[in-house]
Amino acid sequence: MKSDGFADRGRIHGQANAEAIALLYFEYPSSQCVYKHVAQAGESPGVKDPFDPFLHSSQVGWQHVNLRLIASQDRFQAQPQMGPIRTKCENTFMESTSTTTRPVGGPSARPASSTVCQAFSELSMAYACYAIGAIVIGLVSHGTSRADESIRHTRVFTQGIDGYVTYRIPAIETAQDGTLLAFAEARKYNWYDPGDADNDIDLVLKRSTDGGLTWSAMQIIEDPGEKWSSGNPATVVDKDNGRVWLFYIRVQPKRAGQQTLARTSDDHGVTWSDPIDLSEVAGVVGPGGPIWCKGGLLIAPTFGAKGLWAFYSEDHGKTWHAGESIPGNPGGNENQLVELSDGKLLMDCRQSSSIPHRWMATSDDRGKTWSNARPGMVTRNTTVACAIENYTQQSEGVEKNRIVWTGPRGGRKNMVIRVSYDDAQTFPVERLFGEGRGGYSDITILDDDSIGVFWEGSGRRRNSKWSLTFTRLTQEFIEPKP
């Protein structure tokens, strides 16, 4: 994580053979969420507003309160820096041994503001309010375990960074080795969609090898040319061989033409193949949606002039075939797939703006044909790409079948996760994980059985930057104990 030239202002000093990671927690009012910012060794995190869940030192800069972090063998020290004020503030919230790191306080046991630092009495009340939410809680050495949290947010792509006006359309996948792959559209000139308003959109990727705590530098998967667009990423891993499939669309300027393409990676997203043209069997693909099914089926949802259908491969991608469309063409797009407990496939589809509910259809022949569409989840005036994923299955030895779904609660704001125990017939559980503006989302299941949600939004503050954020949720978050 870069610090944009501020690395000389308050470095993190760790043990010679340790990786110092400062975890800054910010409590967000009116929510049960705690947001975390991760600061790498040598970085000085800038705190703009502890009540904004989308903080990132390389983007926020030094506009309000800066914390100087000093990692010693068993604790961090936080020092507010503003003008001439240099008063030290020390608090130990994580004790570290040579092999483990265990929480002492943590986000549920934050001290009062007077305990955090007496120096804040010298600051104005406004700046004190900004600063008291930031608490340093850990030094993590190589090979140590981190405190378990039910929710954790990490910003991955941010509006205005790396030469692009903004980022949209998140897609996420867990590679076979546990690496997280976060894809997005990098929109160069404006916010418009592929082919519109002379925009230029590149398909980009960041990787995480530590469960989403930190992310690599941005990698451009495809730059199709000036005013061309590559977007709508949709991914799946072939669990038989570990190959990652990335489906996407390439759109000519002014939407003069379009292709549906695929690339593959056999090294967990480090390198990618040349594109394969699948336009003969697929319409618009993505964002999100493809799945691997028991028996080796690779299948991806798609939409276009003939309606809603899926294309599939039964030979690990050597050949691809188009299934039939949902009868009657109910309208809709940006469809998603999930395998049900009885082996049937469910297609969950974004509806048109005049309809209050999503559409659902099922297939009992592995995507070759589909049932008539039935009304799906009521989404309260929300027409947006949502995500659906198989979370737990009784056939794998757990106590319940669980399907999870993410999207805005109503309009494009307040992101929620919902849980079904009856193969998506009903979703009785709903949990808010992101307040404020929201939008598209995608889901992956991590190696530790937590849920990874990659979603777009900007929080509830007007000046919050639009971001694509990775949120890790545990089962304890979606099903809190009474």
Residue 340 pLDDT > 60: yes
pLDDT at position 47: 36
Residue 444 pLDDT > 80: yes
pLDDT at position 382: 78
Q: Are strands 451-459 and 429-445 parallel, antiparallel or unpaired?
A: antiparallel
Which residue in the block uniquely carries the two structure tokens 């949600």?
453
- Side-chain half-sphere CA neighbours of 479 within 13 A: 13
- Euclidean distance between CA atoms 187 and 146, whole angstroms: 35
Highest mean pLDDT among 17-21, 111-115, 351-355: 351-355
pLDDT at position 379: 80
Highest mean pLDDT among 60-64, 323-327, 329-333, 354-358: 323-327
Q: Which of 260, 259, 235 is nearest to 246 (CA)?
A: 235
Q: Looking at residues 96-113, what average pLDDT do you find?
A: 29
pLDDT at position 125: 32
Q: Which of 472, 456, 386 is nearest to 35 (CA)?
A: 472
> Per-residue pLDDT tens for 227-281?
999 999 999 999 999 999 999 999 999 999 999 999 999 999 999 999 999 999 9
Distance of CA 294 to the CA centre of its chain: 26
pLDDT at position 435: 92
- Entry pTM: 0.72
> Per-residue pLDDT tens for 3-20?
222 222 223 222 222 333
Q: Which of 242, 248, 272, 273 is nearest to 175 (CA)?
A: 242
Q: Are strands 276-277 and 201-208 parallel, antiparallel or unpaired?
A: unpaired
pLDDT at position 462: 65
What is the CB neighbour count within 10 angstroms for residue 342?
10
pLDDT at position 196: 94
Residue 72 pLDDT > 90: no
For residue 409, list its beta bridge partners. none
> Per-residue pLDDT tens for 394-433?
999 999 999 999 999 988 889 999 999 999 999 999 999 9
Highest mean pLDDT among 84-88, 139-143, 214-218: 214-218
- Between 147 and 357, name the one with better pLDDT: 357
Domains of the chain as residue ranges with CATH = 22-136 (no CATH), 151-478 (2.120.10.10)
Residue 107 pLDDT > 70: no
- Between 180 and 113, name the one with better pLDDT: 180
Q: Which of 150, 218, 226, 141 is nearest to 188 (CA)?
A: 226
